[in-house]
């Protein structure tokens, strides 16, 4: 017996094999090398079905070594019992002299060492005759090949983290549901679920904990399921759910309620206990919405509406929301052109030192000179700019324009306008990796001294990602600019973070200033804010001052600066210059 394969002394010489070309190196050794190097399993039997050859691949496939199967009938260990009769009939048939020397590939079921059935693709050939008759077979493993193909297909269509279907599979199922419903009113509903403030979890606890939370959320959504066609993870912390049928809307709303309830219980991830809420949007097919893209867009719009309401709730897309979405789309389209068409304007409002009634700075405030709608105030278009990312180029333009204007005033020695300009930054700008470089480049290009620029960030924007914002603020502070926290009192600041932020100025929100002189509680709140700011070494600016009573109360409470309609509305640069110096308030 030669090493690595099993043979019998009477085995047909290799010269009888199809395609053989005799030479000096033929024989058992060459034959063994050939079949052992084959990519497929190779088995050879004699006319009675006893094994005469068994290569290494056959051992890998079936688990039996060559020594264990030599001279054993394949009926004993390889052929499933239910195929015994068929095997014996085939053996009798192939022994007929008139049979072709090779057979086409066919699928067969064979047994491995554990008795498990393996599906193989079997190509056989016949050689020799009489006592030298042999049946040789090359076998390809279809079971594992198909399992590998199925695993690949599953990976292509499922999320690797949660195991849920992914966007691709969801898209297929949605297309099928829409085609089956043929645009029937309300027959298909899409639910979009987005976790609230999930980025803060990732930043505070790390991405590994964040991943554990996502897996737990996926499990709870599956447990909350009742009639959903498919629950998918879109990516990040967003999930999609599809409902199909006459009760699609009711099913979607019911699922939303169960999902929010399921998510209300704390999630244990690592050593942390995490509390999570979600915003849910639902959209249905209608007479005007019959395609996947607008249906998903409507569900997204509803979800963002839920998020705008504070999260932890559900919104169903309706006619009123459709009008809002259409208006936002129109605004977005026009806003893309506003910069290149020079439709944006900067207005300026003075910041007054209360003790002497002198302007010490100006705040730059953006307006949109719309060709059809006239002057558009920021709250009409800034939210759209933030959602679409247009706030990045718009914010850079505002910063450059404001710095150039202040430098121009300095050059003509317009001292009545103070020595600093304040510019607002959005949360989207704070998150942008190029912010610090952009500020540095604009200061260098305009020649404005960094100390003459104040950057204002809203309290809510800072607390949205306090840890990330801290690094950005420190980098900005290193440039030499001043930093102010805007709308203080509306964003639930952590005092520990407020102490860590490198701030110079705290701005009291207008809602608190409005109460001054009207009731004692209003003054108590502003007093507390002013005392807190001064304790932290910050200067205080009161926003929205409109009456002499408010100004007098602020002066009594020790507030440093004020701005508002009492002094000046936001006006173009030329008008501001014409109206200065401001009258001193006694």
Q: What share of the chain is helix, strand, coil (3-state, %, to 5)?
A: 45, 25, 30
Instruction: Flag whether pLDDT at 292 surpasses 50.
Output: yes
Residue 116 sits in the same domain as residue 192: no
Does any domain span residue 507?
Answer: yes
Cis status, amide bond into 402, omega within 30 of 0: no
Residue 181 sits in the same domain as residue 245: yes
Residue 141 sits in the same domain as residue 241: no
Q: Tell me what the mean pLDDT of segment 434-462 comes to.
A: 93
Listed residue (503, 491, 492) closest to 534, CA to CA: 503
- CA 47 – CA 180 distance, rounded (Å): 57
Q: Tell me what the mean pLDDT of segment 103-111 comes to.
A: 82
Listed residue (85, 4, 93, 80) closest to 42, CA to CA: 4
Does any domain span residue 371?
Answer: yes
Residue 134 sits in the same domain as residue 203: no
3 state SS of 565: coil
pLDDT, one tens digit per residue, over 58-85 is 999 999 999 999 999 999 999 999 999 9
Residue 431 sits in the same domain as residue 357: yes
Q: Which structural domain range is residue 313 located in?
A: 158-317
Residue 572 sits in the same domain as residue 471: yes
Region for residue 345 given its phi and psi (left: phi exceeds 0; alpha: psi -120 to 50; beta: otherwise): beta
**Tally of domains in the chain:** 3
3 state SS of 132: helix
Binned at pLDDT 50, 70 and 90, residue 37 comes out as low
Does any domain span residue 329?
Answer: no
Residue 26 sits in the same domain as residue 119: yes
Domain boundary among 283, 317, 351: 317
3 state SS of 126: strand
3 state SS of 92: helix
Which of 68-77, 389-398, 517-526, 563-572 is predicted least confidently?
Answer: 517-526
Q: Tell me what the mean pLDDT of segment 107-131 comes to.
A: 86
Residue 309 sits in the same domain as residue 395: no
Longest CA pairwise span in the chain (Å) = 126
- Is 323 exposed, middle or buried (CB count within 10 Å of its CB: 0-12, 13-18, 19+)? exposed
- Answer with the residue of higher pLDDT: 438 or 47: 438
Does any domain span residue 333?
Answer: no
pLDDT, one tens digit per residue, over 197-241 is 888 888 888 889 999 999 999 999 999 887 788 999 988 899 999
Percent above pLDDT 70 for the chain: 87
Residue whose structure tokens are 């996502």: 214
Binned at pLDDT 50, 70 and 90, residue 454 comes out as very high
Does any domain span residue 336?
Answer: no
* Predicted pLDDT at 349: 94
Number of other residues whose CB lies within 10 A of the CB of residue 411: 9
Domain boundary among 146, 168, 186: 146
Tokens of 239: 């999930």
Does any domain span residue 4?
Answer: no
Does any domain span residue 357?
Answer: yes
- CB-based contacts of 431: which residues, under 8 Å, 6+ apart? 465, 468
pLDDT, one tens digit per residue, over 372-417 is 888 988 888 888 888 888 999 999 999 999 999 999 888 776 555 5
Does any domain span residue 566?
Answer: yes
Binned at pLDDT 50, 70 and 90, residue 435 comes out as very high
Q: In whole numbers, what is the pLDDT of the chain averaged over residues?
A: 84
* Predicted pLDDT at 11: 39
* Predicted pLDDT at 290: 83
List the CATH number of the domain containing 436: 3.20.20.450
pLDDT, one tens digit per residue, over 530-552 is 999 999 999 999 999 999 999 99
Fill in the DSSP letter of residue 11.
Answer: P
Q: Tell me what the mean pLDDT of segment 426-445 comes to.
A: 94
List the CATH number of the domain containing 285: 3.30.70.270
Residue 286 sits in the same domain as residue 388: no
Residue 197 sits in the same domain as residue 258: yes
Domain boundary among 84, 111, 146: 146
Residue 345 sits in the same domain as residue 313: no
The 3-class secondary structure across 294-330, one letter per residue, is: HHHHHHHHHHHHHHHCCCCCEEECCHHHHHHHHHHHH
Contact yes or no for 335/311 (Cβ under 8 A): no
List the CATH number of the domain containing 63: 3.30.450.20
Residue 87 sits in the same domain as residue 172: no
pLDDT, one tens digit per residue, over 188-202 is 999 999 999 888 888
């Amino acid at each position: 017996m030669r090493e690595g394969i099993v043979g019998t002394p009477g085995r047909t010489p290799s010269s009888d094999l199809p395609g053989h070309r005799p030479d000096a190196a033929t024989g058992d050794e060459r034959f063994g090398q050939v079949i052992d190097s084959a990519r497929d399993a190779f088995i050879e039997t004699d006319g009675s079905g006893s094994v005469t050859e068994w290569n290494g691949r056959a051992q890998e496939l079936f688990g039996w070594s060559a020594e264990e199967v030599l001279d054993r009938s394949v009926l004993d260990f390889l052929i499933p019992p239910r195929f015994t009769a068929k095997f014996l009939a085939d053996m009798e048939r192939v022994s007929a002299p008139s049979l072709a020397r090779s057979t086409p590939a066919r699928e067969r079921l064979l047994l491995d060492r554990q008795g498990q059935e393996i599906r193989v693709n079997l190509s056989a050939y016949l050689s020799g005759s009489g006592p030298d008759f042999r049946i040789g077979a090359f076998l390809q493993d279809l079971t594992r090949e198909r399992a590998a193909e199925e695993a690949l297909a599953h990976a292509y269509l499922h999320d690797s983290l949660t195991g849920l279907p992914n966007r691709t599979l969801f898209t297929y199922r949605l297309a099928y549901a829409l085609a089956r419903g043929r645009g029937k009113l309300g027959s298909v509903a899409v639910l979009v679920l987005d976790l609230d403030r999930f980025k803060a979890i990732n930043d505070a606890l790390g991405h590994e904990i964040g991943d554990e939370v996502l897996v737990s959320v996926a499990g709870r959504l599956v447990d909350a399921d009742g009639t959903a066609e498919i629950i998918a993870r879109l990516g990040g912390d967003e999930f999609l759910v599809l409902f199909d049928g006459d009760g699609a809307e009711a099913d979607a709303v019911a699922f939303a309620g169960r999902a929010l309830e399921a998510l209300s219980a704390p999630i244990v991830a690592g050593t942390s206990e995490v509390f999570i809420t979600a915003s849910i949007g639902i959209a249905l097919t209608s007479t005007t919405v019959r395609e996947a893209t607008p249906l998903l867009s409507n569900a997204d719009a509803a979800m963002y509406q839920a998020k705008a309401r504070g999260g932890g709730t559900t919104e169903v897309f309706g006619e009123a929301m459709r009008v809002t979405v259409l208006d936002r789309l129109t605004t977005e389209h026009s806003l893309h052109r506003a910069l290149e068409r020079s439709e944006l304007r900067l207005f300026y409002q003075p910041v007054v030192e209360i003790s002497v009634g002198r302007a010490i700075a100006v705040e730059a405030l953006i307006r949109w000179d719309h060709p059809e709608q006239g002057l558009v105030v920021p709250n009409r278009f800034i939210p759209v700019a933030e959602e679409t990312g247009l706030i990045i180029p718009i914010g850079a333009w505002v910063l450059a324009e404001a710095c150039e204007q202040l430098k121009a005033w300095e050059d003509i020695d317009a001292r009545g306008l103070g020595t600093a300009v304040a510019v607002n930054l959005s949360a989207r700008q704070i998150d942008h990796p190029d912010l610090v470089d952009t500020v540095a480049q604009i200061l260098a290009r305009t020649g404005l001294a960094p100390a003459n620029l104040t950057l204002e960030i809203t309290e809510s924007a800072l607390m949205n990602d306090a840890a990330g914002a801290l690094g950005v603020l420190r980098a900005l502070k290193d440039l030499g600019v001043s930093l102010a926290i805007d709308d203080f009192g509306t964003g639930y600041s952590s005092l520990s973070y407020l102490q860590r932020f490198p701030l110079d100025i705290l701005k009291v929100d207008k809602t608190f200033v409005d109460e001054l002189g009207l009731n004692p509680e209003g003054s108590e709140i502003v007093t507390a804010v002013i005392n807190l700011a001064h304790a932290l070494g910050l200067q205080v600016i009161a926003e929205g001052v409109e009456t002499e009573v408010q100004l007098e109360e602020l002066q009594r409470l020790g507030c440093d600066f004020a701005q508002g309609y009492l002094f000046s509305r936001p006006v173009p640069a030329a008008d501001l210059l014409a109206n200065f110096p401001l009258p001193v308030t006694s």
